[in-house]
Structure formats: C-alpha cells, structure tokens
Chains A and B, each alone.
Chain A
Amino acid sequence: AQSVTQLDSQVPVFEEAPVELRCNYSSSVSVYLFWYVQYPNQGLQLLLKYLSGSTLVKSINGFEAEFNKSQTSFHLRKPSVHISDTAEYFCAVRMKTSYDKVIFGPGTSLSVIP
C-alpha cells in the first residue's frame, strides 16, 4: 500500500523568506510524484510533478521540488515567498502500474506573514 506523510501541518514564514515543505512517501512500487496547491474555497491546482528524468523539477512561479529515491522524499522549496503563496499544499503519489488513483498527504498550511 502507498502512503504520503507531510510532517508539518502548519508552516508560518515571513514574506521574502525561504520555505521548505516536507513530503515523504511509502510505496512498494515505483510512483509518480506531485505537489498540488489549494487556495481557500477552491479546488486543487497542480504545482509541479516528477515523472522521470531530472530529479529537480520547477514550477513557473518559483517553486521547486527534488525527488530523492533513497530517502523516499519529494520536498517542496521556494527561495522567497510572497503573500499570494498563502495556501494549503498537498503532496501526492500515483502508482506507475495502476489506474489513475492518486494518494494525497494530509496537507501543509503555508501562511506568509507580511
């Protein structure tokens, strides 16, 4: 069975400071990895994904995540956060051998303080 752990339920950070949101997963088979963002009262939006190739993936708005197979981690980072980054962030995995089922972590609430 697959599972996703996000140890930090809430992360407060000052504007323009760096941030790291941690994600670890457990799976007996290879997986694809995703980060989704959810703004208040909205659905989920894909932030970035790792399918294969380079272990460092980047989004268009400055976020990046690095896949670490030995540590089964996919931490999300941003060197300088903005007020608009305040949201809920979900790490998720999908099995490479399965239908399109995605397992989500419990989420990390990022609050950017002015």
Chain B
Amino acid sequence: ETGVTQSPTHLIKTRGQQVTLRCSSQSGHNTVSWYQQALGQGPQFIFQYYREEENGRGNFPPRFSGLQFPNYSSELNVNALELDDSALYLCASSSPGQGTYEQYFGPGTRLTVT
C-alpha cells in the first residue's frame, strides 16, 4: 500500500510568481484535503476535493485553487505569491465511506517566498 506522496519537497519562489504543488493520495482514497502550516503553528484547512469537485473551503483567497484528477491525485495552485504564503503545505487523503474519519498526511512541501 502506497502512502500519500507530495512533490516537490522544497520550493523557492519570488513574490508575485505562481506555484503548483502536487499530491498523490493513498491507494483507495477518493478525498484529498490541503492544509497550510506556517512556522510554529497548527495546519490551517485550505480546501478539500472529492471526486474531482471542491466540496469545502477554508478562509483562503481565490488565488489559492486546486484540481483533483480521475486517479484522485491533486494539485494546489497559488497565484500572485505573497511573502506570507511561505509555509509547509500538507496534503491529506481519506475515504469517507470507510467510516474511520482518519486523514493520512503526506510529508509536505516547504514553500519559501522571497
């Protein structure tokens, strides 16, 4: 069984640029959630995708967008990067139908905006 994987591991971007982060969900999971974890803080929910549709969103501006593909992998896109976007971005997969309510997290992508 393959766990949740994310790429790239680290990324450095300049303010105003755009970035795409990728996540492969755990085998059998059809739901992907994205979180932003600033240094020294707990993860903050960005949004969730279920069967290729966004079905929940946290308090993040529209420049944060995403996609989910038929194989349930997902992308997080951030436009017009700001310095405060520097954080660890975590992807988590789950399968609500299993009734375990567990989310399985990937190792994260560390984004630095300069």
Total chain A interface residues with beta-carbon distance under 8 A: 24
Contact (Cβ within 8 A) A43 B105:
yes
Tell me whether B103 and A45 are in contact (CB under 8 A). Answer: no
- B102 with A104: CB separation less than 8 A: no
Is the CB–CB distance between B108 and A100 below 8 Å? no
Q: Does A101 contact B (CB under 8 A)?
A: yes
Query: Which of A99, A106, A107 contacts B48, CB < 8 Å?
Result: A99
Partner of A32, one of B101, B106, B108: B101
B90 lies within 8 A of A43 (CB): yes
Q: Taking A104-B44, A105-B42 as contacts, is the C-beta distance between A99 and B56 under 8 angstroms?
A: yes
Chain A's interface: helix, strand, loop or mixed, by majority?
strand
A106 to B38, CA, bound (A): 10
Q: Are A101 and B44 in contact (CB under 8 A)?
A: no
A105 to B41, CA, bound (A): 8
B contacts with A, residue count (CB < 8 A): 27
Closest residue of B by beta carbon distance from A45:
B105
Shortest Cβ distance from A99 into B: residue: B56
A contact residues around B92 at 8 Å (CB): 44, 102
What is the CA–CA distance of A36 and B42 in the complex, to the nearest angstrom?
A: 11
In addition to A100-B33, A103-B45, 17 A-B residue pairs with Cβ atoms within 8 Å of each other are A41-B107, A43-B90, A43-B105, A43-B106, A43-B107, A90-B43, A99-B55, A99-B96, A100-B94, A101-B58, A102-B43, A102-B45, A104-B35, A106-B41, A106-B42, A107-B40, A107-B41
> A-contacting residues of B (Cβ < 8 Å)?
4, 31, 33, 35, 40-45, 48, 50, 55-56, 58, 90, 92, 94, 96, 101-108
Query: Contact residues of A with B, CB < 8 Å?
Result: 4, 32, 36, 41-46, 49, 51, 90, 92, 94, 98-107
